[in-house]
Structure 1
Amino acid sequence: MTVYQLPVEVTAFARWLTELAGRLRPDAGWYGVFAARDPEGLRACFDGAEILPWDVVESLLQDAGEPADGPLADRARALYAAAATAHDRRPGGAGALAERRDLMERERRYAESRARELGERLRAATGEAEAAGLENDLAWVRDDHARAAARVTELTTRLARVEGHARAEPVPAAQAEPAAAPARTQTPVRTPAPPAPARPARARPRGARYAWLEESAEERAPVAVPVLPTGGAAPRGARFGGGGDSAEAGGPARVAEAADPAEAARAAANAVYALQRLRAQGRSGEAHVLLCEALNGPPDRLPALAAELHRAGLGADWSTLLWEAASLPPGRLAAVAGVLADAGRAADCDQLLRQGVARPVEELAGACAALHAEAHHREAHALLTAFVRVRAPEDAARLAGADPRGLVPQLLDAARAVSATRERDLLHALRVAGLAGA
């Protein structure tokens, strides 16, 4: 009999979730609602068999009286991101995500239809008692709709990550030619595509959907990824745009030139208009894609987009965009963080860096190096402070190993800013790793 062992990331998040639930009353608040609605599903999440939707985690934090930007919420985001990634990459993970996303999309549509029906009945209601009952029902249906929409977005993001990871992984030689059952066609071997021949330049795509593109896909230069310190390795794969440039790439560099303020404002207005249209038509998947496209364009346009989204009451979409930005390649992550800091959006910059600490330590070393190269020393310190606050001291020692001379003093300074206990734990981990005297 084959026994499936849970990934350590999933176990860590399940343990944290159980500890949080221990502070709550199971018959009160949102915890009571979820426990009554789906006790078996909740238990599966506590056991690590499933990953709790993030909107439920936020509600449980709310029950516990924890602020959304507090240290416990930061730790929850880091643990959740690592657990979801490990859980989704298990065999059959992509199929399960697609199936669950389809289910959530059906629930979203049902809630939307039910909300319209209740709204019509409420307008036609004649008695106060009837109206009060309908208003209560409508409030619950709207909450169901909001949660279903949030889960569709979350599942779409997770599925894209899994599929990008699968495309990036090489196929072992033993699997290159599967055995031939006679009616089945052979699976082609995944091999790097040959360089495409030069093609005539095409006209730049127009419209709000393409508002973030400076050039066509053929004209756009590859994103420059900084060379990591000794011992590190640049990330590779489809999600990271073929990152992993050699030293000849020239080290850290700005991803794009400064955007014209008028053009940035115009692009932001167009994008938000298109986003509102897609939301109104229930095309949440396409709306999410449009948001992600902003991350592929000039980073200097993002502050204008943030302002326009908040002005339109779409602050949640800006939070989604920041969550996606936390998975960008190190060089681009640093560029986005630097642009937000330069634009006076320090809170957004810090949120982005806090969410990015769930990444592998090698990538964080690259992001830290890129921030320092662009003279964003405060942001580099914020990244390391968030890292030592939510990650284990052993992880910090591994990060220090990427560049002991530069990162050991920076990590100790960050740990000291968190607490004396955290600094002491880090010192012990550095001694064990043989880095205390670096």
Structure 2
Amino acid sequence: MTVYQLPVEVAAFTSWLAELASRLRPGAGWYGVFVERDPEGMRACFDGTEILPWDVVESLLQDAGEPVDGPLVARAGELYAAAAAAHDRRPGGAAALAERRGLMERERRYAEYRARELGERLRSAPEPAERAGLENDLAWTRDDHARAAARVTELTTRLARLTPASAPEGRTEPPVPPPAHPQPQAPAPPKRRPRGARYAWLEESAEEQAAVPVLPTGGAAPRGARFGGGADPAAASGEAGARGGTDPGADPVEAARAAANAVYALQRLRAQGRSGEAHALLCEALGGPPARLPALAEALHRAGLGADWSTLLWEAASLPPARLAAVAGALADAGRPADCEQLLRQGVARPVEELAGACAALRAEDHHREAHALLTAFVRVRAPEEAARLAGADPRGLVPQLLDAARAVSHSRERDLLHALRVAGLAGA
């Protein structure tokens, strides 16, 4: 049996990385954010099978309180450059770098599009609570954009070093720092959204090519998952299906056909650089029958479009409560508990009133395990006082469920929740 041995440079870097991580608090700072977002990817980087992006290394050093011009940062740059060079020289390294760079470029463009969209919503948001939520989303989106831009620069530099004109083998240099992550570009003219039967979720004939702008203009009601499905007939029909009656997406043949058509359309749009229209297509999928989404997940992963599925789950976390519960239930029923739990974890940032509605909808459909997962994620990341506010929406039903969820997290979390419930007058509910 052939045993893969890490290059010496990679082993040295991963050893240094493990030592750095031992100084950090698990679940706190940027380290906690990265592990929460991509636990498998972080594990692969610590094992040495992948190389951690340099911006992540900088963030971990920031968590450790290291100054940017300190000796540890300089040493990290030397180890990182040597490990990246050794990793990239492996067979297929250039192709892997090019593929990763393409993915990061798509992420950069999507974050740019998303930031413009959030900025427009922020300018028209009258309520302080809504503004606070949008400002938080915009800050994270800008961070995503900066990191994606930095990674495009880094991957381009690493790819260039593999060409014949690059430095002699064995000579390594510290990674080129990202530019001071670029000036915002002027918004591109709105593109036309794809229509027709080949796009699966719209159920129109191929001859019907009526186009609608991707971004809402004038007084038109916004559409898509991130807008809560407002004024979207497809979303309304899907909501009706979630409440009862015959689910139009339950037919596995129809679900497979719709998924295949959607993947074909996404591949065509990605190849043509029409990322905005590709994103709109994903949002259309969320407006269709929830029972079709597991088939779409399988088709996307088979086609190497797993990043699109992650984007779709992120958008689904912003759906209205009943719709969120319907999507989570469909994923659970189809044997995709990891996707279901990821969706619910991403959804816990929404207002407590909406989470109470989502819990009620899940339990009404006998998805008790998923309701418990949602509450567990909630008490893990939200303050006990907010959990008490959530319990106030339905004290008889939610108080025992929240206590069970807190108990599953830790004894101290259960104790803190009990105290908050007593202060709110709900301890005896």
Q: Which TM-score band (shorter chain)?
A: 0.5 to 0.7
Distance 1:60 1:270 in 2: 30
In the alignment, structure 2 segments of 5+ residues that lack a partner are 1-12, 21-28, 48-87, 128-194, 206-224, 232-238
Identity within the alignment, %: 66
User: Residues 269 and 292 (structure 1 numbering): CA distance in 2 closer, same or farther, change over 3 Å?
Assistant: same
Contact kept, 8 Å, 2:229 with 2:319, in 1: the verdict is no
Letter in 1 for 2:356: A
Seen in structure 2, the aligned counterparts of structure 1 residues 132 and 404 have a Cα distance that, compared at 3 Å, is closer
Query: Match of 1:332?
Result: 323
Cα offset, 1:370, TM superposition? 0.9
Question: For residues 375 and 135 of structure 1, do their structure 2 counterparts lie closer, same or farther at Cα, with a shift above 3 Å needed?
Answer: closer
Superposed, which structure 2 residues align to 1:123-272 within 5 Å? 143-164=100-121, 169=126, 206-209=196-199, 211-213=200-202, 239-242=227-230, 253-254=243-244, 257-259=247-249, 260-272=251-263
* Secondary structure of the structure 2 residue equivalent to 1:295: helix
**What is the number of residues matched between the two proteins?**
275
- Answer yes or no: is the 8 Å Cα contact 1:334–1:370 preserved in 2: yes
Q: Where does 1:389-428 land on structure 2 (aligned, <5 Å)?
A: 389-428=380-419
Aligned AA (2:366): A
Name the amino acid aligned to 1:150.
E
**Secondary structure of the equivalent of 2:287?**
coil
User: In structure 2, how many angstroms separate the alpha carbons of the residues matched to 1:29 and 1:272?
Assistant: 38
- After superposition, the Cα gap between the structure-2 partners of 1:423 and 1:273, relative to the gap in structure 1 and judged at 3 Å, is same
The reply on whether 1:435 has 2:392 as its aligned counterpart is: no
TM-fit CA distance, 1:353: 0.6
Q: For 2:370, what is the secondary structure of its paired residue?
A: helix
Per the alignment, residue 315 of structure 1 pairs with 306
In the other structure, the counterpart of 2:351 is 360
Q: Report the Cα offset of residue 431 of structure 1.
A: 1.5
Residue 166 to residue 362, structure 1, CA distance change in 2 (3 Å): farther
TM-score (norm 2): 0.54
Distance 2:413 2:426 in 1: 17
Amino acid at match of 1:276: Q
Answer 1 or 2: higher relative contact order, Cα 8 Å, separation at least 6. Answer: 1
Please tell me whether the aligned partners of residues 275 and 290 of structure 1 are also in contact (alpha carbons under 8 angstroms): yes
Unaligned ranges ≥5, structure 1: 1-24, 33-45, 68-130, 171-204, 217-236, 244-248
Contact 1:255 1:332 in 2 (8 A): no
Classify 1:429/1:161 alpha carbon distance in 2 versus 1 (closer, same or farther; 3 Å).
same
In structure 1, give the amino acid aligned to 2:295. A
Q: Secondary structure at the match of 1:437?
A: coil
CA 1:160–1:258 in structure 2 vs 1: closer, same or farther (change >3 Å)?
A: same
Looking at structure 2, the residues matched to 150 and 273 of structure 1 have their Cα atoms a distance apart, in angstroms, of: 20
2:197/2:204 contact within 8 Å kept: no
1:288 matches 2:279: yes
